[in-house]
Structures are given as structure tokens and as C-alpha cells.
Chain A
Amino acid sequence: MTITLDSIGENQKVKVVSVSGGWGIRQRLGCLGIHPGDIITVKRSAIMRGPILISVHGNQVALGRGVARRVVVEAE
């Protein structure tokens, strides 16, 4: 079973397995330091199915739910 980033609770650490989106989304996430193999910590989850805030390589990034759903992860 695959887990996606949007279903991860706050303060959990995960490892990126793959990004299932198209070219654009892969490039943009790559630029922000999110590639297969990278470690991500979910820091916050906004209310009303809003975005999640993650920490990756010492930097914070907000991802909309739709985007987070495309990031396949595994527990670290």
C-alpha cells in the first residue's frame, strides 16, 4: 500500500519514494529540495483541508493538499 504525503500527521518524519505528478510539479518540487530519497518532516496541517507545511533540508515549504497527494512517501 502506498502512503501519500497528505495523509501524514504533524511532526512525523517520512522519506520520499516518488512524485507522481507531471513534469512541472516534479521540477518545482525538485527545486525546493524534494526528490526521491529525501527526508521530509510534516510540521503543520492547516484547517479545512488546507495546505501542509513541511520542513526539508532546513527549509519550510507549504504544499496544497492536491500537491501533497502526489508525493508518495514511506515511514522513516
Chain B
Amino acid sequence: MKIALMGQPNSGKSTIFNHVAGYKAVTSNFPGKTVEFTLTKFNIFGQVIELVDLPGTYSLTSFDLAELEARKYLLNGDVDVVINVVDASLLSRSLELTLQLLELKLPMVICLNMIDEAERKGIRIDTEKLSKVFGVPVVPAVARKGKGMRGLFSTAYKVGEKKKSGKTLNFSKDVEDVITQLSIQIKKKQICQKFNVPERFLALKYLENDSYFIENYKKKSNDLFKEIVHFQNILKETHGRQSDVVISSERHHLSMNIYESVVTLTKPHASFIDYLDNILMHPFLGYISLGLIIYLFFNLIFGIGKIVEEPLLDYFYRLIPLIGKSINPNTLSFSIMSGIIQGLAGGIAIVLPYLFPFLFGLAILEDLGYLPRIAFLLDAFLHKIGLHGKAIIPFILGYGCTVPAIMATRILESERDRFIASVLATMIPCAARMTIIFALVAFYISPQAALAIYILNIIVIIISGKILSRLLPEVTPGMILEIPAYHIPSIKVALAKTWLRMKEFIFVAWPLLIVGSTVLSLLQYYKTDMLINNFFSPLTSLLGLPLVVGTTLIFGVLRKELSMLMLIQAIGTSNVAAVMSKTQIMTFTIFVIFYVPCVATIAVLWKEIGSKRTLFAVAFTFVLAVILATITRFVY
């Protein structure tokens, strides 16, 4: 049996999913983040259930890429039960999606999530009455606390067994007449099979002027298309508005009526988080807080990382000479051994100490719901580089990892915005590059120098943004963004999310790091690394870097953190300052931050913006890196 979680953004689908999947999906308090489906399997009543977490969807009539994907998935026809997850504290608005889902005539359960939050707001919901109105079971739940989950899935299972769908509710009589007449025409043409939807659903989508359904049929049946325009005009004339506004208003009123009939309002309990926005979104204090939060955030990461990095590194680098005592340092097996140890050490001592606090801190900020606030505060500034406030989300995620950042550009409406944001996101120092900045620059030069790199990076991004938006002059569509209520962050949820993101490093990047480090040892053993270094010598001499750095740059394209770890291995000491001057460290870091995105990023760019634009991004960042690093060499 296949169950799909469907609901508006931030309704708690991913939290429910996580509860079942044991922290395999990521949740965050930001509208529209699940852009890829996540799937898990579990057992109930001895039956294997497949559970799919679909992207947050406001409406089944949409132009949003992620929402269209969710709709396509539902229409595919192999979903047995839909769990419509509803934020109970936003019931009236959420019911508009519920009404559309009912029109699909799929077996369905409504999950009234965050019922505790609704009660705090003074909204008491009569679930039995709601269930009668829609003809589907309604299960109250608090997914963050795991309340109501068992009941939800056993109800869903039973509904799936019976294959029972709910009622479709009627709009005003005159609108309903138009819908019925159009449905008859649609039935005559027998086109519902093609889309696998009920006639009424299709009639509504045509009246709403949904481009997907219209474009897919316009060419084949011109007379049906004429009928559609005819009925759209009837609604337009009788209501004095476009037909899509008529339908969405009808749905809105119906939802409001249902809401009023099932809800009793009581006095809300105020909480301190209701007042948080008086500071965090204040036109003056808001920016001060933003600066302060970011400053504290990075200070904390550096503080924690440094405490852990030093003793761990010391420990590992004492190991290698110890092995040298038992195995002859000039043999192949010693080379392999030391390569493996250095790879292990790189992961444990250099990357993890900075990666974990960063990801955890980001998870807390996401869970709190601070990210959309940043979008609000910075919208005006982002307009200066031709984007709007929402683009800050991929940028912030970019400080973690570029791959999800580029996937998150899907929340932007126009293709041009997605392209510009993707290219700029590749330049943001991800956690891997952050470890380079922290472990080389902050460690050997000074924390202020590290901060300067971040500031320089932002300036370069702003200038690049200005250049790109000049090259592609088009007005950005403007921001429409829900600002969800704050949630008190849950440590458990934040840890789970951190773990999920760390897993990618531990199981994918780290083995690669160990292999890479061993390969480099072998190259050195057979003296082949000199060939590569010589090939790169024009570049390394231009930048004034030691010849041995050449090989490490190739590894850096595989994974950014590899370039630093390989550097340490290539120069043969963990004390970089003994071999490289401060200028060289700085030049190396600047080059590594900007040059060519890593392989995983190139792959996702290819998928999202196409081959030509990806090659452009690669060339653009490489040229930029050479220019900036050369300047650094002579200026710093």
C-alpha cells in the first residue's frame, strides 16, 4: 500500500515522515523546501507500507515547479491513500487545499497537526463535525511530540483497505451549474482517462485556466477549447472577475464557512515568541540582531572547532612517526598506511569539528523559523543584484553545502532568477570550504583574516550578481513569502537533521577522502605526482604557490575539503606555516574558495540549469578565482 503525505508548506509533513522513517527526511520551518520526494517503508498490521513525503503545496492549481511535481505524483495513480496534513492553527486557509484534494476522489485522511498550537491560539476544532462535513476520518495530532501518529497510520491503512473517498462539496448554484455543464462536455470528449482525474476536477482546472491541462489539450480539440472559453466568459460576466478568481473565491468562502461551523474561538494564550518579531523584524533592531546572530554563530563554530581540532591533529600526527618505527618509511605499505591515516585524520580532526557545530546551528535557526525573516530583511538588498528576498535561502543553505542550495533555487519563480542564484550560490563558501578558511587562515593567520575572507566573498558575490543581472536584464517577479509562526526549536529535531546532513559527509565524502589521500601517497611513492604538478606549474607559479600544490587542486574538484587535506599531505607536514608563507596560505585559500565547483555541484547544476550554463558557471568561477588569487598574491 502506498500512502502519500500532502499538505501546505510548513504543515508538518516532514515531521510526520521523520517520525516513521527514523530521521531520514529533513524538516525545516521554511515554506517550500521539500523539492525532491522522500520515500520510506514501514510495517503496519503485518503489511508493508510505502510512505511518500510530497513537496509542500498551497494549491493544486499552480505554476510552482515543486507543487506541479507533487500534483503529477498524485495524478500518476498509484497512491492508495492521501494523508492531508493540515496545520490546525491555520485551518481555514488549509481547507482550500483539502477541498481540491477531495475533488480528486482519492481515499483520504485528514491529519489535524499542531493541534496544541491551535488551542494556544484559542482555536478549538470539533473534529467529528469536520469529519462528517468531508466524509473522511479526521485525526488530531502533534507530530513534533509524536502524538497521534499511531492512530493516524492505522486509520490511513483502514481507509486504504476500504478504498473510500470523501464527499465533494458544492459551490454557489450558478457556479455549480457552469461546472456541471462543462463536466458533461468533458465527459463527451473522453479526455479524463488521459489525465486520470474525475470530470469535475478537470472542469474546475479548465475554469481556473490551469496552463498544464489547457496546453495539453488545446491542440487536439479546438471545439472543447471554445467551450472552455465560453464557460469562462459566463463566469466572468456574471461575477465581474476573471473565472479563476471566481473559482478561488468560491473555494475560499466554502472553506471559511466550514471553518466557522467547526471552530469555537476562545481566548488565546500569549507566549513570548509572539513578541520576538518586535525585535527580529524591527526596521533597525532587526538588522542589528541579524548581524549579531551571524557574528555569534561563526564565532561559536570557530571556538568549538578550534578546541577540538588542535589536540586531535596532534594525536594523529604523532601516530605516523610511530608507524615509521615498525615499518620502513621507504616501503609501499608505509605509503599506503600513512595515506589512510591522513585521510582518517582529515575527517575526524579537521572537518568534523567545524561541520557539526555549523550544521547544528543552522538546524536550530531553520527550526525556529528565522530564515524567512532574513528573506524579509534582505529583500531590498537582493533587489540590487536583480534578485528578491527568497534568494537568500539558497545562499544561506550554501554556507552548509552547495548541492541543496542549488536545489533550493527552485523556490524562485523565474528561470533567470534561478540561474543567477545558482551561479552565485556556487561561490558561497560551503562547510567544506569553511573548514579550509578556519583551519588554514583563522588557525595560521588570524580569525580577523578569516572574517575578511567572508566579507571579500560577499563583495565578490554582489559584484558578480550585478554583472549577471546586467547581462540578463529582466525584472524579478517580486517576493510573496509566508512568514510562519516561530517554533521553539526542538533539540531532537535539530540533532536528527544535523545527523542526516552529516551522514552525507561520513558515508560519501570521508571514504573518498581516505581513498584520495591514499592515491596521493601512491602518486608520491611512484613520483608521478610531479607530472601533474609540472602540468599545473604555469598556474601555481602565477599564483606564487609551491609546486606541490598542483596535485591538490585536482582533488579539490572532487571535494573541496580534499584540497586542503591533500595540501597538508603534499607538503608533508601538518604545520602548514612552516612551509608556506601567510601570503601563500591566503592566495591558496582564495583560489580554492572560488575555483570550479565540486563534482557533486556540477552534477546538480547540470540537472537544474542545463549543460551550457553549467559550463559557463565553471569557466566564470575559474577565471574569477585566477584573477582574485593573483591580486591576493601581490596585494596581501
Contact = CB atoms under 8 A, between A and B. Distances in A.
B389 interface: yes
Tell which of A23, A32, A62 has the most Cβ of chain B within 10 Å: A62
Interface in B3-33: none
A67 interface: yes
Interface stretch (B151-159, B184-192, B194-202, B473-481): B473-481
Interface stretch (B57-65, B347-355, B560-568): B57-65
How large, as a class, is the contact surface on chain A? 35 or more
B93 A28 contact: no
B478 A65 contact: yes
Given A51-B376, A64-B379, A26 B480 contact: no
Tell which of A25, A47, A60 has the most Cβ of chain B within 10 Å: A60
Interface in B369-405: 372, 375-377, 379-381, 383, 388-389
A52 B208 CA distance: 28
Contact of A27 (B61, B249, B478): B61
Interface residues of B, number: 45
B483 A61 contact: yes
Contacts of A60: 482-485
Interface in B236-257: 241-242, 244-245, 248-249, 252
B344 interface: no
A28 B244 CA distance: 12
B59 A46 contact: no
A66 B379 CA distance: 12
Contacts of A63: 478-480
A23 B241 CA distance: 12
B244 A26 contact: yes
A53 B483 contact: yes
B92 to A, nearest CB: 6
B281 interface: yes
Contacts of B92: 33, 57
B46 interface: no
B209 A23 contact: yes
A44 interface: yes
Interface in B94-147: 96, 121
B252 A33 contact: yes
Contacts of B64: 28
Contacts of A65: 478
A61 B482 contact: yes
A66 B389 CA distance: 12
Given A33-B252, A62-B481, A67-B479, A26 B379 contact: no
A32 B482 contact: yes
A59 B90 contact: yes
Contacts of A32: 58, 93, 480, 482
Contacts of B477: 24-25, 66-67
B62 A27 contact: yes
A48 B424 CA distance: 23
Tell which of B248, B379, B381 has the most Cβ of chain A within 10 Å: B379
Contacts of B475: 66
A66 B325 CA distance: 71
A15 interface: no
Contacts of A51: 376, 379-380, 389, 479
Contact of B388 (A23, A30, A33, A64): A64
A48 B372 CA distance: 18
B23 to A, nearest CB: 29
A35 interface: yes
Contacts of B245: 19, 26, 30, 35-36
B61 A64 contact: no
A36 B245 CA distance: 9
Nearest to B87: A59
B283 interface: yes
B50 interface: no
A33 B93 contact: yes
B58 A31 contact: yes
B69 interface: no
B608 interface: no
A27 to B, nearest CB: 6
B418 to A, nearest CB: 15
Interface string A8-41: 0000000000110001111111111101111000
Contact of A62 (B90, B121, B242, B479): B479
A53 B480 contact: no
Given A47-B380, A58-B121, A62-B483, A23 B244 contact: yes
A6 to B, nearest CB: 11
Interface in B431-490: 475, 477-485
B121 A30 contact: no
| For the complex of A and B, 3 pairs with smallest distance between CB atoms | A50-B380, A31-B58, A64-B478
28 contacts: A23-B63, A23-B209, A23-B242, A24-B63, A26-B242, A27-B62, A27-B248, A30-B245, A31-B96, A32-B482, A33-B92, A33-B252, A35-B248, A36-B241, A38-B252, A44-B283, A46-B380, A50-B377, A51-B380, A57-B90, A60-B483, A60-B484, A61-B482, A62-B479, A63-B479, A64-B388, A64-B478, A67-B480
Interface of A: 18-19, 23-33, 35-38, 44-51, 53, 57-67
